[in-house]
Structures are given as structure tokens and as C-alpha cells.
Structure 1
């Protein structure tokens, strides 16, 4: 599981993340929602050690990321789509990751097949579309067969078939007992995919609840989201203000 306690990150006088506390448990898809600039990506970067918190802790199965002996075997993450050398083929990119983490070469072909890239495994990754790059990033996250997975906006660039495929993938991973944290700006997709939701705004926790609880009494997830984050949105246009006045 993922345990976050008092996680805080500042950039000068700006508090990007302020004292977050939450758990992400195995066996369910946990959605991570918030307006633009709410601190979701910063939080996920701190969980996997890409950013250092100013205060607080983030543990994966009781251990900080930087102390994991074989990180890719413990946690897989997709935070940015194009984190590969553009001159390498998809297969060689994954093979290099496998070699550096003591992962059998057979896993490379297995994950390429899982994400639907077997037919283009020998192509240079620099020529991939955004959707194909996302699939390669997901393959890298799955490479070590980790029990914990983090996906930040993984549907970006995917066509409708790809979005449906990803929905099935993350659901099946959770059904296997893995811990899955999924960030997305698509509230409708979260309604179809997530079992629980962590909602933040301006770096603060606004909700940690099941989707069923948030949508009780016939309320849509979109309505619940805007009620929670209305005062935390970075930008609020006239339509949103009118929505809040007429509720």
C-alpha cells in the first residue's frame, strides 16, 4: 500500500502540497482528482522520489521509495509519456530498464504484448504518437510485475478503444490485489473506473471516500467534484460561477 503522512512541498512562498494524509490500499482502483494546479502530479512525484518533500513522508509498503532495493519490482509509475531515448526502439528501451533492475528479458516481450506494441517493438520510440508513447510508458510501469502502480493522466493521447482498454487493465490489476493510484482530469472516466477517490485542492485533502459515498442520493460524480473543489479551482469562469449560484 501507499501511506502518505503530512506530505508538504513549497516553491518559494507557494504551497504546492500542504500536509497531505491518505492511504492507497490494495485491491481497489483509487482515483486521484483535483483541479489544475491542485498538487496531484507533485504528490505523485514525491511518492516515487522525483521531488523531495519539505515535510512529511510517503511510504510504499512501509519503505520510502529511495530505500527500495529493486524499485521497478516494487512500484511501477507512469508520470510522463515520453521518458525514453527517442533513438531507441521500444524493445531496447524496455530491455535497458530490465537489465538495470534484474528483470528477466522475457518480461520485455510479455509487457509489449500486454500493451499492444508487439508489432512495433523494433520501431524507434521517438516516432511514436502520444497514445503509443503512453502505452510504452505503461509497459515500463508493468515491467517488474510490481504490486504498486501509479498512473498520472494515462488516457492522454489514447483513442476511445485505448481508453476502454486502459480501464480494463487497471481494473484487472486491482482485482489481482495490487495497489493502483490513478490520476485523471476526466471525471466521467473516474466514475467508470475508480472504486475510491482522493480529491485535493490547492494541495489540501478535500475528500477520501468511495465513489458510492460521493454519489449518494443520485448526485453525479461531476456534481460532487465541483461542490468539493469550487473554492479551490485555479480558474473559475462565468459558467462555473453560474453553476454554483443556481445549485
Structure 2
């Protein structure tokens, strides 16, 4: 289980994450939603020990990430698709990660096959498309066969077939009893993937509920999300005003 307890992070006078409390339980896919600048990536980085909270705790199985004996065997994460040396092959990249965590070499071949990269394992990862790089990132997350998985925008760069693949993969991982936490700006995709939701805005918890319960608040999950985060969006505007501006620009161009 992932736990955030009073999690707070400041950058100067800006409060990126503000006394955040939530739990991510095993056995279901939990979606992590929020407007741009809401603190989702910062929260994930604190869970993974990449950023130090100013106060509060981010725990995995009751321990901080730095307290885990073999992190890759307990937690897998995809935060950045191109988090690899561009000159290395996909296979070499995974072998280096495996060697540092006592993971047998055969596991490299297993995860390459699982993500559909078995035939291009010898190619330089730097030449990969964004979608292929994303699949390599998923392979690295799965390498240690961990019980906890975090994915930040996992469908970026994937074609429709790839999107369905990652959706089915996350559901299958949760069905095995793993903890799966996925951040995305694609509300429609989260609606198809997740069962539970954690929604934040301006670093604060706005909702910790099921997809079904939040969807029931409005005509769709998207509408419910926008209603919930209306006052937390980084950029807001009046659609009617934007329409008037565009109309005026059109008249100006015609003259």
C-alpha cells in the first residue's frame, strides 16, 4: 500500500503539495487526477524518494522509499519515458538495471517480450520513437516483478493499440493483487482503466473516491472532474469571451 500522510512540499513561496493525505490500496487501479500544476508529479517524486517532503511522509508498505532493501524488486515506476542512456541498447539498459538489483538476466528477456520489444532489444534506445521509449520504461518498471507500480502519463506517445495494451496491462497487474497508481491528464482513459480516484488541486486533496461515485455527481466523469477542480485550475477563462475574441479576430481578418 502507498500512503501519503500530511505530505507537504514547498518551492520558495509556492506550496506545490499541501498536507496531502490518501492511501492507494492493492488489487485495484487507482487513478491520480488534477489540473496542470496541481502537484501530481511532485507527489509521485516524493513517494519515490526523488524529492524530500518539507513535512509529512510518503510510505510504501509502511516504509519510506530509501528504507527499502531492494527498491526495484518492491516498487516499479515510469515517470519519464526517456530515462535511459541513448547510446545503449534496450537490452543493455535493462541488464544494467537488473545487475544493480540482483535480478536474473532471464528477467530482461521476459519483460522485453511482455512489452513487445523483443525484436528490437539490440537497437539503440536513443533511436526509439516516443511510444517505443514508453514501452521500454514500462519494461524497466516491471523488471523486478514488484508489488507496487507507479505510472505517470503512461499512454503518452502510444498509438490506439498501445493505449489498449497499457490499459489491459495495468488492470491485469491490479488483478494479481498489486498496487497500481497511475497519473494521467486523459480523463476518458482513466474512466476506462481505474476503479478508484485520488483527485488533487493546488496540492490539496479534493476527492478520494471510486470512479463510479465521482461519475454519479454529473453527466460524466469529465464533467464531475471539471466541477470539482474549477477553482484549482492553473488557467481559467470564460469560453463565451474566447468565442467573442475569435469572432472579432475573424472580422478583422476579413477586412
With normalisation by structure 1, the TM-score equals 0.96
Q: Secondary structure at the match of 2:190?
A: helix
Q: Equivalences for 1:45-64 in 2 at 5 Å?
A: 45-64=45-64
Partners of 1:237 and 1:109 in 2: how far apart?
A: 50
SS of residue matched to 2:192: helix
Q: 2:183 aligns to what?
A: 183
Alignment of 1:110-125 (within 5 A): 110-125=110-125
The corresponding residue for 1:207 is: 207
1:234 and 1:76 mapped to 2: Cα distance? 30
> In structure 1, what is the equivalent of residue 142 of structure 2?
142
CA distance in 2, matches of 1:153, 1:175: 21
Q: Residues 31-42 of structure 1: matches in 2 within 5 Å?
A: 31-42=31-42
The Cα offsets for residues 227-246 of structure 1, whole Å up to 9 and x where unpaired, read as 1100000001322999xxxx
Q: How much has 1:217 moved relative to structure 2?
A: 6.0
CA distance in 1, matches of 2:193, 2:127: 30
**Equivalent residue number for residue 197 of structure 2:** 197
Displacement of 1:23: 0.2
What runs of 5+ residues in structure 2 fail to find an aligned partner?
A: 243-255
Aligned match of 1:157: 157
Q: Deviations over 1:39-88 (max 9, x none)?
A: 00000000000000000001101110001110000000000011000000
* Residue number in structure 2 paired with 1:75: 75
**CA gap 1:241/1:142 in 2 versus in 1, 3 angstroms:** farther
- Taking only aligned residues, the RMSD between alpha carbons, in angstroms, comes to 1.2
Could you tell me how far apart the structure 2 residues matched to 1:93 and 1:217 are? Answer: 46
1:21 aligns with 2:6: no
* Structure 1: gaps spanning 5 or more residues: 243-247
Task: String of CA shifts for 1:181-236, please: whole Å, max 9, x gaps.
Answer: 00000000011000000000000000000001111266200011001100000001
Q: What's the secondary structure of 2:207's corresponding residue?
A: strand
Counterpart for residue 245 of structure 1: none
Distance 2:240 2:4 in 1: 32
Runs (4 or more) in structure 1 with deviation over 6 Å come to: none
Give the match's secondary structure for 2:84.
Answer: coil
How many residues were matched structurally? Answer: 242
**Which structure's CA Rg is the greater one?**
2
User: TM-score, normalised on structure 2?
Assistant: 0.93
